[in-house]
Amino acid sequence: MPPILKISNLRKSYDGGFEALKGVSLEIEEGEIIALLGPNGAGKTTLISTVCGITTATAGSVTVGGHDIQTEYREARSMIGLVPQEIALEPFEKVINTVRFSRGLFGKSSKDEKLEQILRQLSLWDKKDSQIRELSGGMKRRVLIAKALAHEPRVLFLDEPTAGVDVELRKDMWDIVAGLKSDGVTIVLTTHYIEEAEAIADRIGVIAKGELLLVEDKAKLMARMGKKQLHVQLTEPIDALPASLKSEHVTLSEDGAELIYTYDTRGERTGITKLLAQVANEGLTLRDVVTRQSSLEDIFVDLVHEDKEAAA
Amino acid sequence: MNWTAIRAIYVFEMARFFRTIMQSLISPVLSTSLYFVVFGAAIGSRIDQVEGVSYGAFIVPGLIMLSVMTQAISNASFGIYFPKFIGTIYELLSAPISFLEIVMGYVGAAATKAMFIGVIILITAFFFVDIDIQHPLAMIAFLILTCLSFALFGFIIGIWAGNFEQLQLVPLLIVTPLVFLGGSFYSISMLPPVWQVISKFNPVVYLISGFRWSFFGTADVPIGISLLAIAAFTGICLAAIWWIFRTGWRIRD
């Protein structure tokens, strides 16, 4: 099946010469959730804005469902829903009217049962006649999602949907995303919360300084780069690693009080028993033993760090 | 053409008008009544007929034009500036609609509101003075054209404006003086010769003159020239809007 969204060598530079996107290419399959992870100013919002038609690309192309966003913008945009990062709503408008307006803008007749279904799905039905200004911040975010879903899009862009929201609402938002996925909606979300990407995405793309550093299946990414470490804390610091312990997997901490052993949990043997036996043979006494699994956050920091080093 | 989208914008904009229907109507009716009391009754009673028409009746077309032009501009400029200001413009830009459709929705709604107010003022005028409209069809045509062209002009101001002060700037500094000096309350022939010449450069003179002709059959400038002037003004606004949307000026990065 062809990808529902195909971004090819997308570039965006501004008049001042700032390059927000430096040739991003990405293919997204129908029905998946992809999280674009990156620090502030990485180009996540520019990427979304360009695909959605808010910003004009300097070069490159984007197709949605096979339709080019420039030459066949009507077909392409009809398939897209966008939930922006900032809450942008008419304060005096009623919830139901603003959602109806969104549906109309996309050329769909005002089907009240459809609007009801969307508002109920987002627990907004009771608030349908409330003015936007009377709603809480969380409810306003739901209204933004309802507006984006009003025309039944096949691809939904969520630009930092949980930026600045409390933990409970964040979990709520994740449930909503999971529900949309089960309805077959493809979801592209940007976030700088690693736990968010880890919790809900199928694939993860890492963006920094306008470049897509990698895109990979979340589980594979974790497995590929997810290392486990055993920290062996010693009662007496040592000056150097004993010869029997020297290997590429073992390092000594700077203060000499800790041996750090990196291993792969997927291996048949982890080598822990052998390591501990060697430690005992060397006459070292242990104070504590700790294991640590590297999280997506570590992977992310490593990637962005490597990128910076490469640039230097 | 995405008619559903045009309708959605139109209905949404008209809803804003009807939400504040009392302010929308009371204010123009009140100010027009004050004009009639002050200019029509108090001052007008000391002025002879102007071009064969009582002064109270003479100022009616000018008063209607004054309100219609300012209302068309303020409604259209606010209509498109407000989404820019609060950020909801993202929705217009990401929807499968052309710029032409956006303009039709916003300008259509702003022109309707201005038309509505123009008609209300005309009705109010009937309570104060006797008016006999000699060319009702021409009157309606002039009203519609003025509403549309000034709504287009207002739309351009709304796109251009970077803040609320700028939004007020053009109507306050340019349009109001042009309308006041455009013969709303007097005939251009009453001015000294030099000012008569200067007045010919004021486009509003042609609109008010043409509109007044549809009421009383007399005009400062020939009706054909009035029509030409309003057509030219509409054409300039359309060209400007076409350029704005082609380049995405002040809308799209």
Q: Which tens digit of pLDDT belongs to each residue from B57-71?
A: 888 999 899 889 989
Residues 209-248 of B with CB under 8 A from A: 248
In a domain, A269, yes or no: yes
Q: Please tell me whether residues A44 and A69 are part of one structural domain.
A: yes
- Which is more confidently placed, B46 or B7? B7
Final residue of a structural domain among A223, A248, A268? A223
Residue A188, strand partner residues: A34, A157
- Cβ distance B12 to A84 less than 8 Å, yes or no, reads no
Torsion of CA B83, B85, B90, B96, to 10 degrees: 30
From the centroid of its chain, how far is CA A154? 19
How does the average pLDDT of chain A come out, rounded? 89
Q: Which residue of chain B has the CA closest to A48?
A: B94
Number of Cβ within 10 Å of residue B81's Cβ equals: 23
Q: Which residue of chain A has the CA closest to B79?
A: A90
Final residue of a structural domain among A189, A207, A223? A223
Which residue of A13, A82, A105 is the best one to mutate when testing the B interface, meaning the one whose CB has the most B CBs within 10 A? A105
**Is B20 an 8 Å CB contact of chain A?**
no
Of B5, B7, B94, nearest to A52 by CB-CB distance is: B94
In a domain, A211, yes or no: yes
pLDDT band for position A258 (50/70/90)? very high
Q: Is 90 exceeded by the pLDDT of residue A121?
A: no
Q: Please tell me whether residues A24 and A77 are part of one structural domain.
A: yes
**What local confidence, expressed as pLDDT, does residue A43 receive?**
92
In a domain, B55, yes or no: yes
Q: Between chain A and chain B, how many beta carbons pairs sit less than 8 Å apart?
A: 83
Any idea which of A166-180, A219-233, B181-195 has the lowest mean pLDDT? A219-233
A161, A84 contact by CB (below 8 A): no
Q: Please tell me whether residues A160 and A254 are part of one structural domain.
A: no
Q: Count how many domains chain A has.
A: 2
In a domain, B168, yes or no: yes
DSSP assignment letter at A261: E
CA A23, CA A15: separation in Å to the nearest integer? 17
In a domain, A129, yes or no: yes
Q: Please tell me whether residues A83 and A133 are part of one structural domain.
A: yes
For residue range B215-230, what is the model confidence (pLDDT) as tens digits?
Answer: 998 888 888 999 898 8
Q: Please tell me whether residues A144 and A10 are part of one structural domain.
A: yes
pLDDT band for position B189 (50/70/90)? confident
In a domain, A133, yes or no: yes
Final residue of a structural domain among A170, A204, A223? A223
| Backbone angle region of B148, left / alpha / beta, with phi > 0 → left and psi within -120 to 50 → alpha | alpha
Domain span holding position A262: 227-293
In a domain, A17, yes or no: yes
Of A78, A92, A108, nearest to B19 by CB-CB distance is: A92
In a domain, B252, yes or no: no
Q: Please tell me whether residues A202 and A265 are part of one structural domain.
A: no
In a domain, A312, yes or no: no
Q: Which residue of chain B has the CA closest to A72?
A: B96
From the centroid of its chain, how far is CA A95? 29
**Is A293 an 8 Å CB contact of chain B?**
no
CATH, residue A205: 3.40.50.300
CATH, residue A259: 3.30.70
ipTM of this predicted structure:
0.88
- Cβ distance A54 to B94 less than 8 Å, yes or no, reads yes
Number of Cβ within 10 Å of residue B31's Cβ equals: 14
**What SS3 state is found at A291?**
strand
CA A235, CA B14: separation in Å to the nearest integer? 78
In a domain, A52, yes or no: yes
Residue A214, strand partner residues: A206
Task: Give the closest-approach CA distance of A84 to chain B in angstroms.
Answer: 8
**What local confidence, expressed as pLDDT, does residue A266 receive?**
67
Q: Please tell me whether residues A126 and A271 are part of one structural domain.
A: no
**Is A183 an 8 Å CB contact of chain B?**
no
Q: Please tell me whether residues A112 and A25 are part of one structural domain.
A: yes
CA end-to-end span of chain A: 41
Rounded to the nearest 5 degrees, what angle is found at the Cα of A200, between the Cα atoms of A198 and A206?
50
Residue range B236-250: mean pLDDT, rounded: 87
Domain span holding position B108: 3-247
Q: Count how many domains chain B has.
A: 1
**What local confidence, expressed as pLDDT, does residue A226 receive?**
62
Of A49, A102, A108, nearest to B91 by CB-CB distance is: A102
Q: Please tell me whether residues A10 and A141 are part of one structural domain.
A: yes
Of B12, B86, B93, nearest to A53 by CB-CB distance is: B93
In a domain, B77, yes or no: yes
User: Which of A267, A304, A212, A273 has its CA nearest to residue A10?
Assistant: A212
Q: State the sign of the Cα–Cα–Cα–Cα dihedral A235, A241, A246, A250.
A: positive
Q: Which residue of chain B has the CA closest to A52?
A: B94
CA B122, CA B133: separation in Å to the nearest integer? 11
In a domain, A216, yes or no: yes
Give the number of C-alpha atoms closer than 13 A to the C-alpha of residue B109, restricted to the C-beta side.
Answer: 26
Residues 6 or more apart in contact with residue B179 via CB below 8 angstroms: B65, B66, B69, B70, B204, B208
Q: Please tell me whether residues A76 and A106 are part of one structural domain.
A: yes
